[in-house]
Amino acid sequence: MGLVFSKIQLKNPVNPNLSPIEVEALADTGAVHLCIPEHIQIQLQLTEIDRKEVTLADGSRKLIPYVGPIEIRFKNRIGFAGALVMGEQVLLGAIPMEDMDLVVIPSLRILDVNPSSPNIATSIIKSFL
């Protein structure tokens, strides 16, 4: 399939005086979380909430800062998440993509809104009281 990159907008919703930043993110359905480099954390003045232990590809484990909240925008979608501070590029994982009802279209190598629900993000829930 190849790699899928897309422009997304990141913002600190706690500090509305800060301008949002547009970044080129790797959309990775095999990853779980939003990951951001340290310079993005610094630019958006995101507070470390916790530390999470992650297992790297080589099997080693490392404690990583977890920051947030962070607002994510793509086309007509908006989501809020925490982010792991690691790596040199923004990585958009499955949890924020599912939350925003985004899909990877492998044949075109693009990230897009779910074509089944182009106007509003949808979710599936088990029951509603």
Give the CATH architecture of domain 5-113.
Beta Barrel (2.40)
pLDDT per residue as tens digits for the range 6-15: 999 999 999 9
Domain ranges for the chain = 5-113
pLDDT per residue as tens digits for the range 20-77: 999 999 999 999 999 999 999 999 999 999 999 999 889 999 999 999 999 999 999 9
- Tell me the HSE value of 19 on the side-chain side, using a 13 A CA sphere: 3
pLDDT at res. 1? 59
pLDDT at res. 124? 83
Distance from chain centroid for Cα 27: 8
Decide if pLDDT at 126 tops 90.
no
| Dihedrals phi, psi of 36, to nearest 5 degrees | -130, 150
What count of other Cβ atoms lies within 10 Å of the Cβ of residue 109? 14
Q: Which two tokens stand for residue 29?
A: 């359905």
Q: Is the dihedral of CA 45, 14, 100, 50 positive or negative?
A: positive
